[in-house]
Structure 1
Amino acid sequence: MFDVGLGEMAVLVVLALVIFGDKLPQVAGQAGRMLRQFREMANSAKSDLQQGLGPEFKDFDIADLNPKTFVRKHLFEDDDGPLSNGRLFDDDPPYVTSPGGLAYGERPPFDAEAT
């Protein structure tokens, strides 16, 4: 999870026992309550945001604001977008003519008017 190995975890457990001693169950209970309160606050803020945005954003997810998730969702997983079949318009030729790329020795297409 946090790139902590078994030996490191054992050292942390022993260190916690030494530092907190007999108060360890109380500290663990307080930490659990604090995490539960944070989770409730985050869920409350998320629901307030969704209510404030209105019904047109009912499927909005906070995780969509993460740049990695946004790029993955909108660029790589969009099967019904305009370039899903390799064409911008239905009468255009496909942008990718062969799925394997160029054959050995084959020259790429060149447009003299584009330069």
Structure 2
Amino acid sequence: MFGINGYELIVLAILAVAVLGPERLPEYASQLARLVRELRRMATGAREQLREEVGPEIDEVDWRKLDPRQYDPRRIIKEALLDDIEEAVRPAPRQGTSGHPVRTPAAAGPAAAAVATGAAAAVQTSPPPVQRIERLAAGETAPFDVEAT
């Protein structure tokens, strides 16, 4: 409980007998027992008071899950970032020109599926549009915006 193993407890008991003496040891042992009983009574009272104030939901709380030693900031940040990515990457339902969702090719039949697959392959193989990059002529200075700096 306090990080004391059996050998340390024996050494502490021997030291207590040597320091206190056999005459005063029973008195201090009874005081220690009273202190332990009082601490247990206080803990039980606090638990009962909390249960009365919070209600029956307190029994349903998983206290191990709320243990701060389990929190790893790296894991928390990673999960938070991955949640955003999963929402952004999730494909939106396809809609036709009427605004209604398009039927999947498999539901329309094998012939429609073959046509849709060929059309999708044709769309996927088209090259992306090329953006034209304007370059400065030799010796021309780059534009400078005074307000941007």
Given the two structures, how large is their TM-score scaled by the length of structure 1?
Answer: 0.47
Higher relative contact order (CA 8 A, sep 6+): 1
Which structure has the greater CA radius of gyration?
2
Greater helix share, structure number: 2
Given the two structures, how large is their TM-score scaled by the length of structure 2?
Answer: 0.38
